[in-house]
Amino acid sequence: MIRLLVIGGSDAGISAALRAREKDPSAEVSVLLADEYPNYSICGLPFYLSGETPDHRQLAHRTAFEGIEILTNHRAVAVHPAAKTVDVTHRGVP
């Protein structure tokens, strides 16, 4: 079985995760996010900063993806390619 960890939930990270599941529906795919919002619209930041979009959570396109585990509030602190492991910290949300 293929297990894949994508570090980062921007458009590129989510696209990589979705493509991996498309190529192999049995793959275990997880996405590591430092914050709570996958697929965050960077292009929408000017609207948030101007006040036109008052709630920053509205900038998230989607927050769930079928067959993909989204790990929010997690940060990769070290990657060990030879061992195929990643050291991760988790920041609890109050």
* DSSP assignments along 27-68, one per residue: -EEEEE-SSS-TTB-GGGHHHHHHTSS--GGGGBS-S-BTTE
pLDDT in tens, 2-55: 999 999 988 889 899 999 999 999 999 999 998 887 776 677 888 889 999 888
Long-range Cβ contacts of 90-93 (<8 Å, 24+ apart): 93/36
Q: What is the pLDDT of residue 45?
A: 82
Task: Supply the pTM of this predicted model.
Answer: 0.77
Q: CA-CA-CA-CA torsion for 50, 57, 44, 49, nearest 10 degrees?
A: 20
From first CA to last CA, the distance across the chain in angstroms is: 36
CATH fold for the domain made of 3-90: FAD/NAD(P)-binding domain (3.50.50)
Domain boundaries, the chain: 3-90
List, for residues 61-73, the tens digit of each pLDDT value: 777 889 999 999 9
Q: Does residue 60 have a pLDDT over 80?
A: no
